[in-house]
């Protein structure tokens, strides 16, 4: 029997949502400062308006629903799910006011895509967007990669219910015993790489002939999206705009680092470098990347689109790795996937996108850890059938430490994988209902649900609104890995039908 939620439950949820909404308004200080620095006064008023709306709703919720009650597990999960919806809605206000979107829904699409580190975009005339709005687009991607709740926890002094919200944002692993310290370590890693990555891209941009200020801004924005495996760029041609092998090499390095587990980063930072070759996620990522790239290369060779081996490797490997780690950076035009690459190469990238990067990283998708666990379980079952029935089989996997494979690990990995597969195919069916070809519809659906951002041309302002909402839902539930969204849906059902 469903029990109707109490008013006290709603008060707790909306009170904390109000506090987080205030935080979203405060984040707009960064693009506001950018607009003042570059004298972009129209953009300045866009962000002042966005901040005013956030502060109004935030203070209203805090005043009306004030409570001193602590969060429980359900509250934390629901707050996380609603936070991402609220963040997308409020953050879309200054984007819509920029005049680069046909509707507020399109602005919300880009906002959700940014926070979910997807990179699919409906923004028009990207090449002429203001510095302030570009800063906001990439900054929300940087925030979303670390996690909105991780940002909140980084600066919270009172952390009741912190771990619940941390888990609700698809991060199951504590790096440090205290979840607040874990959140702060995630930000420490991100800021260190921000300095390194931005510097490398800035120097490359200057070397390639860009003006210093422009080179710095592009380096900062490209790093933010690369590290957070997002995919937004300040140019409509994406990474192809730079025509630079050095730029491509740096972005490959940064998006691969972003796709690694933050716990793995901690292990390496504290001196355990052997973890890089022993960890099940790294090994799985290497094997799946090699397998899918081999398939992609065969497909490209058959299509004959890149007659030279260097071109085939450079184009094929970049798109494949970008898709595998969930970044969505591209050095080809979207329609080339359909009209030049051929079905086999498209299937290879779709598989790579579906797998995704590491757990507890900035990447989306099923995750290499789950693929590795399911493979270990399959191998154990095959050995059990081959060997004597009295033989005791003990399967282990190494993830920071040696872990004995148990049914709970397999069950958890298999359940999440099935949810992702269902989400991928549901989105593909939605695309087919609107007249798109099956393989193209599946490619775009996997890109949205696995938070990648590569497109074969379906994502455009002219696509049906229902499909825009479908992809937004996929980005949201795929980024949060289902549990917190399922909890929210159960809560809403209980509110309507509960007793």
DSSP 411: H
Residue 7 lies in a domain: yes
The reported pTM is: 0.93
Q: What is the pLDDT of residues 391-407, one digit of tens each?
A: 667 888 888 888 888 88
The Cα–Cα gap between 32 and 48 comes to: 7
Quick one: pLDDT at residue 157?
A: 41
Q: What is the pLDDT of residues 115-143, one digit of tens each?
A: 999 999 999 999 999 999 999 999 999 99
Residue 50 lies in a domain: yes
Conformation bin of residue 342: beta by default, left when phi > 0, alpha when psi is -120 to 50: left
Sequential DSSP letters for 347-366 = HHHHHHHHH-S-TTSS--SS
Residue 120 lies in a domain: yes
Contacts of 4 (CB under 8 A, 6+ apart): 494, 495, 498, 499
Answer for the pair 229, 363: CB distance below 8 angstroms, yes or no.
yes
Q: Of 428, 232, 249, which is closest to residue 347 (Cα–Cα)? A: 428
Q: Helix, strand, coil shares of the chain as percentages rounded to 5?
A: 70, 0, 30
Question: Tokens representing 383?
Answer: 């050995």
**What is the helix (H) or strand (E) element at residue 399, kind and residue range?**
strand 396-399
Quick one: pLDDT at residue 402?
A: 85
Q: In the chain, how many domains are there?
A: 1
Quick one: pLDDT at residue 41?
A: 94
Residue 485 lies in a domain: no
Number of H-type helices and E-type strands within the chain: 22, 2
Query: Low-confidence residues of the chain, pLDDT below 70?
Result: 1-3, 150-179, 388-392, 498-499
Residue 226 lies in a domain: no
> What residue numbers bound the domain in which 20 lies?
1-167
């Amino acid at each position: 029997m469903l029990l109707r939620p109490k008013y006290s439950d709603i008060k707790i949820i909306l009170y904390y949502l109000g506090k987080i909404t205030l935080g979203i308004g405060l984040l707009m200080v960064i693009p506001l400062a950018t607009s003042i620095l570059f004298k972009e006064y129209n953009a300045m008023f866009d962000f002042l308006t966005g901040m005013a709306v956030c502060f109004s709703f935030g203070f209203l919720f805090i005043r009306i629903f004030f409570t001193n009650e602590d969060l429980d597990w359900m509250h934390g999960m629901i707050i996380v799910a609603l936070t991402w919806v609220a963040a997308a809605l409020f953050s879309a206000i200054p984007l819509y006011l920029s005049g680069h979107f046909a509707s507020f829904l399109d602005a919300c699409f880009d906002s959700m895509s940014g926070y979910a580190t997807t990179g699919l975009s409906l923004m028009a005339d990207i090449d002429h967007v203001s510095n302030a709005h570009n800063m906001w687009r990439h900054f929300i991607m940087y925030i979303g990669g670390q996690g909105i709740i991780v940002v909140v926890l980084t600066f919270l002094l009172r952390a009741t219910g912190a771990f619940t919200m941390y888990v609700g944002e698809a991060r199951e692993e504590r790096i440090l015993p205290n979840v607040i310290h874990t959140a702060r370590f995630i930000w420490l890693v991100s800021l260190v790489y921000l300095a390194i990555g931005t510097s490398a891209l800035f120097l490359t941009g200057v070397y390639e002939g860009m003006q210093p200020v422009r080179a710095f801004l592009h380096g900062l924005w490209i790093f933010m999206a690369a590290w957070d495996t997002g995919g937004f760029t300040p140019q409509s041609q994406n990474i192809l705009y730079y025509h630079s092998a050095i730029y491509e090499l740096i972005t490959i390095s940064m998006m691969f680092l972003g796709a690694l587990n933050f716990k793995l980063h901690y292990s390496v930072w504290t001196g355990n470098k052997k973890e890089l070759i022993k960890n099940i996620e790294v090994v799985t990522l290497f094997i799946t990347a090699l397998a899918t790239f081999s398939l992609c290369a065969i497909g490209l060779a058959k299509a004959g689109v890149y007659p030279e081996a260097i071109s085939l490797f450079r184009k094929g490997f970049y798109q494949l790795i970008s898709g595998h780690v969930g970044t969505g950076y591209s050095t080809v035009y979207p329609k080339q996937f359909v009209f030049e690459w051929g079905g086999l190469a498209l299937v290879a990238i779709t598989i790579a996108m579906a797998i995704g990067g590491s757990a507890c990283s900035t990447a989306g998708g099923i995750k290499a850890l789950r693929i590795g666990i399911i493979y270990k379980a399959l191998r154990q079952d095959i050995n059990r059938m081959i060997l004597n029935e009295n033989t005791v089989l003990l399967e282990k996997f190494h993830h920071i430490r040696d872990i004995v494979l148990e049914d709970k690990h397999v069950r958890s990995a298999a359940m999440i994988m099935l949810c992702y597969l269902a989400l991928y195919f549901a989105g593909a069916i939605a695309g087919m209902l609107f007249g798109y070809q099956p393989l193209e519809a599946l490619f775009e659906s996997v890109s949205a649900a696995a938070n990648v951002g590569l497109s074969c041309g379906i994502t455009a302002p002219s696509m049906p609104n229902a499909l825009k909402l479908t992809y937004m839902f996929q980005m949201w539930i795929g980024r949060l890995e289902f549990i917190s969204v399922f909890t929210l849906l159960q809560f809403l059902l209980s509110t309507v039908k509960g007793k």
